[in-house]
Amino acid sequence: SKNTGSLALPVVFCFFLIIQTITFPALRCNCSTAECEKTGSQCETDGACMASTSFIDGREQHIRLCITRDNLVPPGQPFYCLSAKGLLNIHCCYTNYCNNIDLKVPSGELCQVSRGSWGPVELVAVIAGPLFLLCLLLLMGAFLYQYHQRAYSHRQRLEVEDPSCDTLYMTKDRTLQDLIYDLSTSGSGSGLPLFVQRTVARTIVLQEIIGKGRFGEVWRGRWRGGDVAVKIFSSREERSWFREAEIYQTIMLRHENILGFIAADNKDNGTWTQLWLVSDYHEHGSLFDYLNRYSVNIEGMIKLALSAASGLAHLHMEILGTQGKPGIAHRDLKSKNILVKKNCTCAIADLGLAVRHDSATDTIDIAPNQRVGTKRYMAPEVLDETINMRHFDSFKCADIYALGLVYWEITRRCNSGGIHEEYQLPYYDLVPSDPTIEEMRKLVCDQKLRPNIPNWWQSYEALRVMGKIMRECWYANGAARLTALRIKKSLSQLSIEEDLKV
Ligand SMILES: *[C@@H]1O[C@H](CO)[C@@H](O)[C@H](O)[C@H]1NC(C)=O
């Protein structure tokens, strides 16, 4: 009885603490936004207090606010709490009124020079540092330029099929690209901090609607003289919006063959929430649109196929280390979800259904529901539900099957010896325009049919190789299929051989 007596106090204390945290999660913070004026410039939250000082468009902004627990993603390094050198200084904390502090202006060169009270040593450092960096950048730029010139010199041939193709990729608006590049290399490698994303998103002017989907609409927008694509989700689709933004902000996801993500924003205008996802804009639109409009030559075909494989290989690959990335499976790969960039390479888009692999626990980051994606592109094991959903690699194999179908769409449009076929969707001759799962299952699993690979492809080395890759993407047994990395290697090899012949 003596023991229980001495335990009583801590137990009661803990009990109260638990009750307190469950029923009154409120952490009190200083708050400087207009909504908080009524509540005496304070707010309550179950998450964190945040103070930020930013330097945007030449103006200094100080903001204090509450961040809800839901917004503290990813855990450990929430986007809301990331600072950005020279642009934004953010402090998140977890005790009452802990954001009652005065953060310094972000220490970019701009602000430091204007402060004035420098000793000679600092002055020299401040002036010589950036100059030195500039020189270094110039040198690197010159180096890279030469390297590219050499690498691409054998591809300078004008493409007959699509005269608008630039061999070197140029963006009209370097400022945004630079900003993202700087931030993603200095910070977490996943893109702009959320706070900057908001600023970007809220200064975009929408221009025209360029697409519609089950989630909402896609618009072309302008930001500081450059084009961006804005995917606007209906408020019903908040989960899709959040998921896609979350995937795009996976550390180290940025890759030249994956659609470049710029910002996510949820604007609450009182009556409804507008959910935005801002990305790079590619005027060619999707691979589906592109193949409908143009045929390609052998070089163009290899370029599209190789870049798509590179993008998928990067997506699938797990990179270990603190600056690593998890393996990601797309789960809705198709020609409508791949964009064609100005230099006629692919960028994989629409990551809303993707799943990430946590190799430490060998788990998948969301409970994957059975059959998502586009029925026409579903792998046999997805159609007949034999896919092993606990095994992450099964999802990668299903992606490869879909990639094979995309290759078939591309290769049909390849113009060799004056022959090329009209654009068609895979299985266009075997199923109606909006096939059911049952129709697809009968075809793909029971009858084991696959898109037709014409005999005449055998007479051209490039087409023959493409046909062979497709067959090896379409095996009924997912594990027997090629990997994205393997395909990438085969196609690199092919591109070297083809270039030698030219
Ligand atoms: C933060 O809140 C505390 C408590 O209400 C108040 O005393 C303090 O002045 C506030 N600080 C700022 C900078 O508003």
Q: pLDDT value at position 20? A: 47
Q: 214-218: which pairs have CB atoms within 8 A and are 24 or more residues apart?
A: 215/240, 215/241, 215/352, 216/275
The SS3 assignment for 189 reads coil
| Mutational pocket test of ligand 1: of 32, 41, 49, 66, the residue with most ligand atoms within 8 Å of the beta carbon | 41
Take residue 234 and report the two structure tokens written for it: 């209906």
Helix (H) or strand (E) holding 13: helix 2-23
Q: What average pLDDT does this structure show over 27-36?
A: 86
User: pLDDT tens digits, residue range 343-367?
Assistant: 999 999 999 899 999 888 888 887 6
* pTM (2 d.p.): 0.65
SS3 383: helix
Domain spanning 21-118, CATH architecture: Ribbon (2.10)
Q: Please state the atom number of ligand 1 nearest to the C-alpha of residue 102.
A: 13
3-class SS of residue 266: strand
Sign of CA dihedral 224, 228, 233, 239: negative
Among the listed residues 486, 331, 344, the one whose alpha carbon sits nearest the alpha carbon of residue 410: 344
Going from the Cα of 273 to the center of ligand 1, the distance in angstroms, rounded, reads 30
Active site residues: 332
Residue 382 has pLDDT above 90, yes or no: yes
Query: How large is the average pLDDT for residues 370-384?
Result: 89
Atom of ligand 1 nearest to the CA of 99: 1
Q: Whose CA is nearest to atom 12 of ligand 1?
A: 100
Ligand 1 atom nearest the C-alpha of 32 is 14
Q: Where in the chain is the domain with CATH 3.30.200.20?
A: 157-280
Q: What is the mean pLDDT of the chain?
A: 80
Smallest CA separation from ligand 1 atom 8, residue: 100
Out of 160-169, 296-305, 325-334, 381-390, which region has the weakest mean confidence (pLDDT)?
A: 160-169
Pick 417 or 425 by higher pLDDT: 425
Two structure tokens written together for 439: 């129709």
For the chain, residues classed under CATH 1.10.510.10 are 287-497
Q: Is the dihedral of CA 373, 378, 382, 384 positive or negative?
A: positive
Q: Which of 33-42, 290-299, 382-391 has the lowest mean pLDDT?
A: 33-42
- Residue 501, class by beta-carbon neighbours within 10 Å (0-12 exposed, 13-18 middle, 19+ buried)? exposed
Contact (Cβ atoms closer than 8 angstroms) between residue 319 and residue 252: yes
Highest mean pLDDT among 82-96, 201-215, 432-446: 432-446
Q: Which residues on neighbouring strands pair with residue 45, listed in sequence order? A: 27
Q: Which atom of ligand 1 is nearest to the CA of 30?
A: 1
The confidence score (pLDDT) of residue 169 equals 32
Sign of CA dihedral 427, 433, 437, 442: negative
pLDDT band at 160 (very low <50, low <70, confident <90, very high): very low
105-127: pLDDT as tens digits: 765 433 333 333 444 445 556 66
Q: How far is the CA of 100 from the centre of ligand 1 (A)?
A: 6
Fold of the CATH domain 287-497: Transferase(Phosphotransferase); domain 1 (1.10.510)
Give residue 34's pLDDT band: very low, low, confident or very high (50, 70, 90).
Answer: confident
Average pLDDT, integer, range 181-201: 61
Q: Which residue, judged by its Cα, is nearest atom 14 of ligand 1?
A: 30
Architecture category of domain 157-280 in CATH: 2-Layer Sandwich (3.30)
Give 308-375 as a 3 state SS string. Answer: HHHHHHHHHCCECCCCCECCEECCCCCHHHEEECCCCCEEECCCCCCEEEECCCCEECCCCCCCCCCH
The answer, yes or no, to whether residue 99 has pLDDT greater than 80, is: yes
Query: What mean pLDDT do residues 72-85 have?
Result: 68
pLDDT at 107: 57
Residue 31 C-alpha to ligand 1 middle, in angstroms? 9
Q: How far apart are CA 302 and CA 159, in angstroms?
A: 13
Distance 85 CA to ligand 1 centre (A): 27
Q: What angle in degrees, to the nearest 10, is found between the helix axes of 484-501 and 461-473?
A: 180
- Give ranges for CATH 2.10.60.10 in the chain: 21-118
- The helix or strand, by DSSP H or E, that contains position 8, with its residue range, turns out to be helix 2-23
Residue spans of alpha helices (H) in 204-283: 238-248
DSSP label at residue 247? H
Q: Residue 379 above 80 pLDDT? A: yes
Q: What is the pLDDT of residue 2?
A: 46
Q: Is 212 annotated as a binding residue?
A: no
Q: What is the pLDDT of residues 2-14, one digit of tens each?
A: 455 556 665 665 5
pLDDT band for 372, please (50, 70, 90 cuts): confident
Q: Note the helical H segments in 153-211.
A: 174-186, 194-201
Pocket test for ligand 1, best of 27, 28, 29, 30 (most atoms within 8 A of CB): 30
Atom 13 of ligand 1, nearest CA residue = 100
- Distance (Å) from CA 409 to ligand 1 centroid: 63
Cβ count near 346 (within 10 Å): 30
CB atoms within 10 A of CB 390: 10
Residues 130, 112 contacting (CB under 8 angstroms): no
Which 3 state secondary structure label does DSSP give 63?
strand
Q: Is the pLDDT of residue 394 over 90?
A: yes
Q: Residues of 113-134 as b/e, b for ≥16 C-beta within 10 angstroms?
A: eeeeeeeeeeeeeeeeeeeeee
Read off the pLDDT band of 86 (50, 70, 90). Answer: low
Q: For 24-157, where are the alpha helices, taking DSSP H only?
A: 109-115, 120-152
Cα(101) to centroid of ligand 1, in Å? 9
Residues enclosing ligand 1, CB less than 6 A? 30, 41-42, 97, 100
Token pair 């959040």 is found at 242
Distance CA 464, CA 458 (A): 5
Q: Which residue has the higher pLDDT, 190 or 234?
A: 234
What is the pLDDT, as a whole number, of residue 167?
Answer: 34
Percent of the chain beyond pLDDT 70?
Answer: 75
- Among 377, 171, 400, which Cα is nearest to 288's? 377
Q: Is 245 in contact with 174 (CB distance < 8 Å)?
A: no
pLDDT tens for each residue of 214-265: 788 999 999 877 899 999 998 788 888 888 988 988 877 889 999 998 888 8
